[in-house]
Amino acid sequence: MRAVIAPRRQQRQDSGAGSVRLAERVSRIRESGILAVLIVFVAVTTLVKHRFLDTSNIQFVLVDTTVFALLALGETMVVISRNVDLSVGSVVGLSAYLSTDLFAQHPGIPIPVVFLAGLGIGLACGLANGIMVAAGRVPSLVVTLATLYIIRGIDILIVGGSEVDASSLPNAFLDIPKDTIGGIPDIAIAVAVVIAIGAYYLRTYRSGRDLYAIGSNPEAARLAGLPVGRRVFTAFAVSGAIAGVAGVLWGAQYGTINSTAGTGYELQVVSAVVVGGVAIFGGSGSVTGAALGALLLSTISSALYVLGISPFWDQAIWGFLLLLAIALDQTITARLTAALRKNARSRQ
């Protein structure tokens, strides 16, 4: 069976290469699209109020974006495979408390250990999600909605009325969101690097590209021999682990951690990812776009404050942009599908 398929696969790969290049070019256009919106926003705001580009403002925007950009990275991987992870907010909350509580219970614990603990907590949640979705073959929307409730419930059970205060946290930890190199916050650079790695992985590695195939057509992917279950499982595990790390960063940023940490983040992350050009039914989009989406969200809030426009317009503007992005993506996808079909037909 394999011998028969192999040469066919080679031929398909040749004709596929052109399609892949086309898809990638579109993806890059979409990314530049959101970058363009971002630049326009920043430019207009700066023209009106020069201090929008002050280092302090930039720092606010970048630091505020870090948690969401990280969550967007994990969420993108999941959404590309035609799934969704609604439990990220609850994972952030659980990880934020349990990891920072380590500082309170074991003073002097090294900071990297705490980050590892957060990653572990998130990973455990992600594994649970992954097993249920991949092995159980049940819709991820339902599973992650359930784990959203369950994880938050566990968080509240554990935390109760207590909280971790800034005085229990070492200064070095609280300084993490504040340290800068040349005016740019360290963690922003770190997160940008992580996003770049994620983008490279998704574009280059087989396991990354498989996610796109699975998202485009799960049945076809299965029939083509892709290890669908394993890929989806990994995507959820990674999403959970990243959310765990984001939780630790949350603790460093806010300093006071109780059972409400991370509440409501899931819809913000999904919407950032959609604005960033990731199709909600999977198969297309990029991590870079999603991170830019998260950045745009923080930029708009900041711009409104600086311009003195009531921040109450924030949500409405964001909602409008979301709808615009969805409509735009649909048009692009329709045109791209038509172009790919023409491409495939002309090669046969």
Residues in the chain: 348
Q: Is 92 a binder of other proteins (CB under 8 A)?
A: no
Q: Is 254 a binder of other proteins (CB under 8 A)?
A: yes
Select the residue interacting with other proteins from 21, 25, 51, 106 (CB under 8 A).
Answer: 51
Q: Is 41 a binder of other proteins (CB under 8 A)?
A: no
Binding mask 267-286 for other proteins (x = CB under 8 A): x--xx--x----xxx-----
Task: Say whether 162 sits in a helix, a strand or coil.
Answer: coil
Characterize the bridge pairing of strands 180-181 and 184-185.
antiparallel
Q: Which amino acid is at 48?
A: V
Which residues from 98-137 bind other proteins, rule CB under 8 A? 132, 136-137
Q: How far is the CB of 201 from other proteins (least distance, A)?
A: 25
Q: How far is the CB of 18 from other proteins (least distance, A)?
A: 27
User: In terms of CB distance, is 66 or 271 closer to other proteins?
Assistant: 271
User: In terms of CB distance, is 7 or 136 closer to other proteins?
Assistant: 136
Return the range that interacts with other proteins (CB under 8 A); candidates 224-232, 264-272, 288-296, 336-344: 264-272
Which residues from 161-220 bind other proteins, rule CB under 8 A? 161-163, 165-167, 169, 171, 174, 178, 218
Select the residue interacting with other proteins from 139, 183, 200, 337 (CB under 8 A).
Answer: 139
Buried b (16+ CB within 10 A) or exposed e, 222-252: eeeebebbebbbbbbbbbbbbbbbbbbbbbb
Query: Is residue 302 within a helix (H) or strand (E), and if so which, with residue range?
Result: helix 287-307
Give the number of other CB atoms < 10 A from CB of residue 61: 21
Return the range that interacts with other proteins (CB under 8 A); candidates 13-21, 31-39, 114-122, 303-311: 303-311
d(CA 129, CA 86) in angstroms, rounded, equals 10
Nearest to 257 by CA among 315, 173, 187: 173
User: In terms of CB distance, is 7 or 161 closer to other proteins?
Assistant: 161
Q: Is 330 a binder of other proteins (CB under 8 A)?
A: yes
Q: Is 145 a binder of other proteins (CB under 8 A)?
A: yes
Helix, strand and coil in the chain, % to nearest 5: 80, 0, 20
C-alpha angle 100/68/180, rounded to 5°?
70
